[in-house]
C-alpha cells in the first residue's frame, strides 16, 4: 500500500480515458503510431539525457545563474525551428528528423541544464572546503539521484515542445501522435499513453527516500 494513493490516481485517469464519450462532433480515426520516429527520437532524448548531466556536473549550482545560458534559453522552440528551416540549403533534401533533433537540442539543452543546476545543493562552505575532488564527488552523487525525477518531470514538456517542431518540419512524431489521439478521442491510445506515464512515475518512486 506504499504507493496505493498514486496508483489509484493513475488507474482512475486510465479509466476516465476509456470512458470518453467519443468524437460526436468531429469523427476521426486513430492515427497510425509513428514507429519510424522511435529510434531517431530515442537518440535525441539520449543525447539530451547525456549532455545535460555532463554540463551540469561541469557547471555546478552556479550554472543556474549563468547569463549566456539564460540568453540561449530565451528563444522559444518555434524560433529555433524557424531559423534552422530558413538556413536549410534549398538544393538539399527536405529537413526531417535530423533537423528536428538539432532544433530540439538547441531549444531544450540550455533550459534543462539550468533546471538541473538549480536543483543541485549549495557547495559553500561544504564540500568546497575539502577541495575540487569533494565538490565533483558531491555533484556526481546529487545528479545521479536527481536524474530519474528530472526525466519524469520534464518528459511531458518535451512532448509538447516536440509537437511544435514536428509541425514546423512536417514530420510525424511522438508529440503529434499524443495530440492526435486526444483530438480523435482514441480511448485505447490515450490509455496506453497514460499507462506509460504511470510506469515512468513508478520507476522514480524508489529514489524517494534518497
Per-residue pLDDT of 121-178, as tens digits, reads 888 888 888 888 888 999 999 998 888 888 888 888 888 888 889 988 888 888 888 8
Percentage, residues of the chain above pLDDT 70: 89
Query: Which position has the higher pLDDT, 18 or 202?
Result: 202
User: What angle separates helix 187-205 from helix 132-169, to the nearest 10 degrees?
Assistant: 180
Q: Please, is 99 exposed, middle or buried when counting C-beta atoms within 10 Å of its C-beta (0-12, 13-18, 19+)?
A: buried
Domain boundaries, the chain: 34-186
What does the pLDDT read at residue 56?
93
Confidence of residue 25 (pLDDT cuts 50, 70, 90): very low
Per-residue confidence band for 209, with pLDDT thresholds at 50, 70 and 90: low
Q: pLDDT band at 189, cuts 50/70/90?
A: confident
Question: CA geometry: angle at 30 spanning 28 and 34, to 5°?
Answer: 135
Q: What is the pLDDT of residue 24?
A: 46
Whether residue 47 is predicted with pLDDT greater than 90 in this model: the reply is: yes
Confidence of residue 55 (pLDDT cuts 50, 70, 90): very high
Specify the residue for cell string 537540442. 105
pLDDT tens digit sequence for 112-129: 999 899 989 888 888 888
Which residues have C-beta within 8 Å of that of residue 141, sequence separation ≥ 6?
A: none
pLDDT-based confidence at 205, cuts 50/70/90? low
- pTM of the predicted model as reported, rounded to 2 decimal places: 0.79
Q: Which residue has the cell 540561449?
A: 72
Amino acid at each position: 500500500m506504499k504507493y496505493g494513493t498514486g496508483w489509484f490516481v493513475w488507474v482512475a485517469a486510465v479509466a476516465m480515458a476509456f470512458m470518453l464519450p467519443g468524437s460526436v462532433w468531429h469523427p476521426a480515426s486513430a492515427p497510425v503510431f509513428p514507429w519510424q520516429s522511435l529510434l531517431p527520437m530515442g537518440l535525441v532524448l539520449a543525447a539530451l539525457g547525456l549532455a545535460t548531466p555532463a554540463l551540469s556536473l561541469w557547471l555546478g549550482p552556479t550554472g543556474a545563474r549563468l547569463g549566456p545560458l539564460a540568453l540561449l534559453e530565451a528563444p522559444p522552440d518555434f524560433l529555433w525551428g524557424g531559423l534552422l528551416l530558413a538556413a536549410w540549403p534549398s538544393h538539399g533534401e527536405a529537413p526531417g528528423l535530423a533537423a528536428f533533433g538539432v532544433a530540439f537540442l538547441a531549444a531544450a539543452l540550455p533550459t534543462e541544464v539550468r533546471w538541473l543546476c538549480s536543483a543541485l545543493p549549495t557547495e559553500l562552505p561544504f564540500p568546497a572546503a575539502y577541495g575540487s575532488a569533494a565538490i565533483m564527488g558531491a555533484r556526481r552523487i546529487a545528479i545521479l539521484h536527481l536524474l530519474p525525477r528530472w526525466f519524469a518531470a520534464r518528459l511531458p514538456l518535451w512532448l509538447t515542445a516536440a509537437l511544435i517542431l514536428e509541425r514546423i518540419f512536417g514530420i510525424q512524431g511522438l508529440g503529434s501522435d499524443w495530440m492526435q489521439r486526444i483530438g480523435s478521442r482514441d480511448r485505447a491510445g490515450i490509455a496506453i499513453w497514460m499507462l506509460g506515464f504511470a510506469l515512468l512515475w513508478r520507476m522514480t518512486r524508489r529514489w524517494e527516500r534518497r
